[in-house]
Structure 1
Amino acid sequence: MKKDIFTLLGGFLTALLFFFGTIGIKFDWFNEESINAFVLVLSAFVTLVINLFAVWKNTHVFKKKGE
């Protein structure tokens, strides 16, 4: 499911790139390589956050409040 969401995000950004190109707005830094890099970094960040939460939950959920 996560992969599908990031694929949709990349597709939306690519469509936005083509729309801007159609109306004559060009950004040197906004190209297909930067879109792919952004989607890759965002997916890695979300994976990191999910894994950090899982580690935190697994280490703190079973501790007693008195400890």
Structure 2
Amino acid sequence: MNKDHLILIGGFLGALKVLLASFGVDIITQEQIDAIVNVIGFVLTGYAIWKNTHVTKKGKEQKKVLEEKDLL
């Protein structure tokens, strides 16, 4: 997932809110939509940081190989 996916999710939730409001159903608020998008963004950012650092055993091994080949 990337920034485009977050925009897509936010847009879909906004469209769903408008559709439901047209039928008089008010299930999801704008604050809830914002919270959902923020939580997803936070989780994805944390995952990206974790995967793009060399802190795990496998990551340390990869870093060693990259350094030996002068790629890092």
TM-score (norm 1): 0.71
The one-letter code sitting in structure 1 at the alignment partner of 2:11 is G
CA pair 46-52 structure 1, distance change in 2 beyond 3 A: same
| Higher-RCO chain (CA-CA 8 Å, sequence separation at least 6) | 1
Following the alignment from structure 1 to structure 2, what is the Cα–Cα distance between the partners of residues 41 and 60? Answer: 32
How many residues are matched? 62
- Greater than 6 Å deviation, 4+ residue runs: none
Identity, % of aligned positions: 31
Superposition RMSD in Å? 2.4
CA pair 22-61 structure 1, distance change in 2 beyond 3 A: same
TM-score (norm 2): 0.67
Which blocks of at least 5 consecutive residues in structure 2 are unaligned?
A: 65-72
